[in-house]
Structure 1
Amino acid sequence: MPSFTFSKSLRLLTPSDFKPVFDQATFRASHQYFMFLASSNGLSAPRLGLVIAKKNIKLAVQRNRIKRLVREAFRHLQHELPAIDCVFLTRRGLDQLDNETITKQLEQQLKRLAKKAKEAPQP
């Protein structure tokens, strides 16, 4: 049975982890309120990074709620994703949506991202 944990090895933690994704994002999945950028990582598992700007989401409570929802969606779908580094970026208005709507949209965009990454030719 696969493990659905979200350990440190599945996270982008340092600026040097984020830089390749921002510089050469080969895959994108966009929504009105958020966007995923991704690139192949050459590892055996996908990794997730979060960029939740205070400019877009004012309250810390809302930023933390969104982080929890994104991590949870990623955790559930990590075995469907290929080996990519994925960065989640927020846009204005995301904090106005309820948890169910956000979760549904996150899963939809992550599946779309996985499909794009699997169809792309591997280097």
Structure 2
Amino acid sequence: MKALNFPKSHRLLRPADYGKVFDDVQLKVPHRNFLILATPNNLGYARIGLVFAKKNLKLSVQRNRIKRQVRETFRLQPDLPGMDIIVLGRQGLADLDNHTVRASLNGLWQRLTKKYHQLSPSRPAESPSAGEGTG
């Protein structure tokens, strides 16, 4: 089981990390309120970066609330494959309650995992701890 923490190693911290994902997007998971971009990494675990513009979420309290929800749902995903993920916010997020945001994100994480396995079915064999055959 995945540890219930969110260390720095599971975050995209440097502009180069973000640039790598933006320049080489291999997976896109669109949604009315979110867009998830991802590219596989060789680390064996997922890393996340967040992009929420003032244009879409005017108040900082709104941006921070949504970012907390994204980080929490990401942290609770036990079987995300090794990839770098960027979550972008779209308009209309400020109108959603926390339950709706969490439900949307949980669905997006499942779709992302499914697309990842469709993209490269041989990837789980590279890292034995990826939980081959689960899901």
TM interval, shorter chain, is: over 0.9
Classify the secondary structure of the residue corresponding to 2:80: coil
Letter in 2 for 1:117: Y
Match in the other structure for 1:22: 22
Which residue of structure 2 lines up, in the alignment, with residue 106 of structure 1? 105
How far off is 1:119 after superposition?
Answer: 2.2
Structure 1 segments, 4+ long, off by >3 Å, are none
Tell me which residue corresponds to 1:43.
43
Q: Is 2:32 the partner of 1:53?
A: no
C-alpha separation between the residues in 1 aligned to 2:44 and 2:9? 11
Aligned counterparts of 1:118 and 1:63: Cα–Cα separation in 2: 31
Partner of 1:118: 117
Is there any run of 5+ residues in structure 1 with no aligned partner, and where?
none
Q: TM-score, normalised to structure 2's length? A: 0.86
Query: Could you tell me how far apart the structure 2 residues matched to 1:44 and 1:73 are?
Result: 19
TM-aligned CA deviation for residue 11 of structure 1: 0.1
Task: Report the 3-state secondary structure (helix = DSSP H, G, I; strand = E; otherwise coil) of the residue aligned with 2:107.
Answer: helix
The residue type equivalent to 1:64 in the other structure is: N
Partners of 1:66 and 1:103 lie apart in 2 by 9
Could you say which residue in structure 2 is the equivalent of 1:88?
A: 87
- Indicate the percent of aligned positions where both proteins have the same amino acid: 47
1:17-46 residue CA offsets vs partner (Å, 9 max, x unmatched): 101111111011111111100000111110
- Bigger RCO of structures 1 and 2 (CA < 8 A, at least 6 apart): 1
For the pair shown, the structure with the greater C-alpha radius of gyration is 2
Three-state SS of the structure 2 residue aligned to 1:85 is strand
Counterpart-to-counterpart distance in 2, 1:74 and 1:33: 16
